[in-house]
Amino acid sequence: MLRFVLNHWRRQRFKFILTLVGALIISAGLSLMFNLTDSSQGTVEQTLQKKWSSAYDIVVRPKGSQMATEVSDLLEPNYLNGINGGISFQQYEDIKQMKEVDIAAPIAVMGYANSSVSYKKALKFPTKPGIYRLTSTNYIQNGFTKEQQSQEIIHIAQGTKVSVPQNASFTTNPVEYFQDANARNPALVVAIDPVEEARLVGLDESVSSKNKSRYFSSLDHYEPGNNPSEHIIPVLINPNSFNQGNYEYTIERLDAPFTTEQDQQKLIDELIKKQPKRSIANSALTTYSAKVIQHLTIPMSEVEETYLQQLIEKTNATALGTDELEGAQLLYTSGPLQFKTTNSPYPTRWTTAYEVNSAPIQIKNWTYGKNYFPEHGFRSLESIGRKVKKPKPGEVDTAFPYLSFKVIGLYDPNKINVSKDPLNELPMETYRPSSADLVLDAEGKPVNPAQPIDTSGNPVGLLTSSPNILTTLDSALAVNGKQAISSIRLKVKGAATVSEQSEQLLQDVKKQIEQETGLVATITKGSSPQPVVTKVVDDGKTLGWIEQPWIHIGAAMTIFRETSVGFSGVIFAMLAVAIVYVLATSYVSMLARRKEFAVLLALGWRTKDLYKIVVIEAAILAGFVSVVALLVESIFSYVRNETMNILSLVLIAGFSLLIYLTGAAWSAWTIRQISPYEAIKTGEYAASSHIKLGLRSTFTLALKEIFGKWKRNALSILSIALPTALLTFFLFVTFHLQGVLYTSWLGQFVALQVGPMHYVTMGVAITIAILTTGEIMWQNVTDRRASLAILKAVGWTNRSIRQLILLEGMLIGFVAGLVGLSISYLTIYVLYDLVPWDEPLLIGVSLALPILFGTIASLLPAQIAARVNPYQELKDAG
């Protein structure tokens, strides 16, 4: 029986070579797929496993604090600093008691305190009589320009010899009153739970051991002050300042005579005439020219560090009285930025783009004037002041809490245990300021290199500051009330590894929190930064575009799921294409050997003997595939310097045997329908077409041939349609994965690891599809040699014959494209619950590739058809 098989292959050597080529491609394709898929899947899982950890697993926020950007699974960096209360202490306790919650660390943003520093006798006034102008200006850096935040101008008369009326536009107070340079800075105060914060980020390990510095203990708690507005709170200080900007003080001598009594009286009369109503704040003297006497600049960072240093000097001041403690009024809280979507200037680089606009600052319950903040800002302000029902004479009608700081230690945010890995860090931390890069200028042109933009310390600025003052949670309760907690960061038990089980556990905890507390819970574990570009517009003027690493929620699980589906789809596509190829070649082989088998049956062979022939052929080809796989595996092992993967060999051998035995079963089913009558039957056994087509052109003749042998050509269409459908599905998975992977930095890292597999699979699938189509087209030509000979006998040229066969291949490819597109879109809908109608490129490729496959596969059969010898073929037919 084996000799019979070998003799048959020797007689049909060309088809046998084609069969071996197909087996070789299948073997190499399976080997590469199992190796690359295993390697890529392992790389993805290892990468995700390493990057699965995060500072916290879930963040809980008040209801109504969601951003519009969360629809796109995006959260703004440092968003937590823009939430001011909304979670009650009872809700916090309820969450802590949940059995799956391991750590629950709350943040209570208390607000900005007005810290003040006085530089003694820093301003030098001359003793010479005259009018002097003192201009105090606070400038901040908004990341784009130097912006004036506040300004105060006062005119001081020295050496006055005449009586000054009340409506004069200057003060006659001694210059000693104005020699101190006073500067104030808003300092963000945040309350934490010391025990939970130490467990979450190791805050206790970041505390300095110098100057009696220590961490919070159980003895450190809130104390009431001497009056209802005073609150004594224990604090940890971060002495490092991140503020940008400066304070500028300018002393000028006015170019106005003021030496004699006549000069002074003349100037006073002139001012009264210009400004009948007295106004020192808006004096008419501002229009007078002046000569600069002194200009002093003090950086805001120095002001803040000086103030903090004053606090630090009283570190561990348990023996001090309350009147000796440094403090500040708690003035206001700032809100989050308001983003709206906009078109990305470069969609290939930034898939997502937003726009943020400044607005006039309006604040209620405020008594200190507008020079505490700019006229415009990117954030809203809310006063912490409370209206006084019956203020005493001389008192303001709004009371603000006064915080007396009892410093117990210093901490270094750089020593806090939070991830600094750019692939999985959460730029929503409490301890680090916001940052951004200016990447496009106001005209939208690239800035090379990109300019870094840091926080300015401005509460209504674009980028927020991290807090320099930390206190205990009970202080927030006493000062801000029962709903003072802004957010809660959670660690969950049993979610240590990336898996569907971990994801389900996190989803269950999220659902329980939202159902039992009514708060908003967001899973942050497995998130990764995503570059997002934002257009910054200030007072209607575009300042430029900044890039920031936003938080792509759930990036790791999305990558895990999508790559799992993608890898599974790749293996399935490879096996399905191989099975279709083997089935097609088996069917073609049976078409060619049908009469041969009928003769054998007529000579007395049993059907079982024919079964043995096809089984032996399948076993030999499967063995050939396994041997080639062994060689490929050896090459992989040698190149990688690894031990041979026996499991891959077993799987390849098993799948090869399955593929070729499937083809053998198909052939066996066909053998059952053969009868000895086939041995004496002559002519084409396929039924002729009943479709009436006028044979007026090559096109109509091609249609006649296709419809006339519709069963055979249906198989040909299916043999192209299935590989095309799977190839289309694979292209969708590839581009879909790229869309998933390239949105986050973690995904981009993974994409670099799995890229080669996509191209290998695509090449193997295309090659097998062309081989499948070519073998069927070859058999079509073989069965039509007599009819082709007649066409040539009546005058058809070789070129016309080639065009006919090529046209048939193109028509079969076009129909196969339609069928394949339908199958692939149905598969995509089942697996991804979507139909990509908005992908014209995918549709075009799905239709163009089958036509191309049919054309390429028809080239060799067309050449064979053109070489048909009319005399020889008609003689043999006779």
Profile the chain (878 residues) by mean pLDDT over runs of 10 residues: 66 65 66 56 51 75 84 78 89 94 93 86 88 88 73 87 80 87 87 93 86 87 87 88 82 89 86 77 84 91 78 54 65 90 87 90 80 80 84 75 89 77 59 83 88 81 84 94 93 80 87 94 79 89 88 66 58 68 72 76 80 81 76 70 68 74 76 68 46 60 71 71 74 61 48 53 70 76 78 83 87 88 83 76 84 87 83 60
Say if residue 666 is exposed, middle or buried (CB neighbours under 10 Å; 0-12, 13-18, 19+): buried
In the chain, where the domains are located: 2-48+555-877, 58-477+489-525
Rounded to whole angstroms, how far apart are CA atoms 433 and 456? 10
Rounded to whole angstroms, how far apart are CA atoms 378 and 398? 26
Amino acid 510: pLDDT? 92
Residue with tokens 């002729």: 688
Amino acid 839: pLDDT? 77
The dihedral through the CA atoms of 373, 374, 379, 380 has a sign that is positive
Contact between 543 and 444 under an 8 Å Cβ cutoff? The reply is no
The HSE-up count of residue 415 (CA atoms within 13 Å, CB side) is 12
Amino acid 580: pLDDT? 72
Amino acid 508: pLDDT? 93
Which are the contacts of 596, defined by CB distance < 8 A and separation ≥ 6?
none
List the beta strands (DSSP E) in 652-762: none
Amino acid 680: pLDDT? 56
Amino acid 44: pLDDT? 52
The helix/strand/coil state of 875 is: helix
Closest CA to 25 of 574, 394, 479: 574
> What is the separation of C-alpha 418 from the centre of its chain, rounded to a whole number of angstroms?
20
Which two structure tokens, joined as six digits, stand for 868?
């048909």
Which two structure tokens, joined as six digits, stand for 163?
């009586």
Q: Write phi, then psi, for 686 (nearest 5 degrees).
A: -75, 145
| Other beta carbons less than 10 A from residue 752's beta carbon | 10
Which two structure tokens, joined as six digits, stand for 239?
């002495």
Which are the contacts of 524, defined by CB distance < 8 A and separation ≥ 6?
54, 55, 56, 57, 58, 59, 426, 428, 551, 553
Amino acid 687: pLDDT? 46
Residue with tokens 């016309």: 800
Which two structure tokens, joined as six digits, stand for 254?
């006015």
Closest CA to 710 of 780, 787, 778: 780
Q: What is the pTM of this model?
A: 0.68
Contact between 114 and 189 under an 8 Å Cβ cutoff? The reply is no
Amino acid 140: pLDDT? 77
* Helix-strand-coil split of the chain, %, nearest 5: 50, 20, 30
List the beta strands (DSSP E) in 19-100: 58-61, 74-75
Amino acid 420: pLDDT? 61
Rounded to whole angstroms, how far apart are CA atoms 577 and 203? 58
Amino acid 750: pLDDT? 47
Q: How far is CA 723 from CA 164, 580, 666, in A?
A: 99, 8, 19
Amino acid 743: pLDDT? 54
Query: Could you give the dihedral angle defined by the CA atoms of residues 771, 773, 775 and 780, in that order, rounded to the nearest 10 degrees?
Result: -170
List the beta strands (DSSP E) in 461-591: 469-472, 487-492, 520-523, 528-538, 541-552
Closest CA to 138 of 293, 292, 299: 299
Contact between 65 and 81 under an 8 Å Cβ cutoff? The reply is no
Which two structure tokens, joined as six digits, stand for 179?
């020699």
- Residue 611 is inside which H or E element, if any? helix 607-640
Q: Write phi, then psi, for 187 (nearest 5 degrees).
A: -115, 125
Amino acid 456: pLDDT? 72
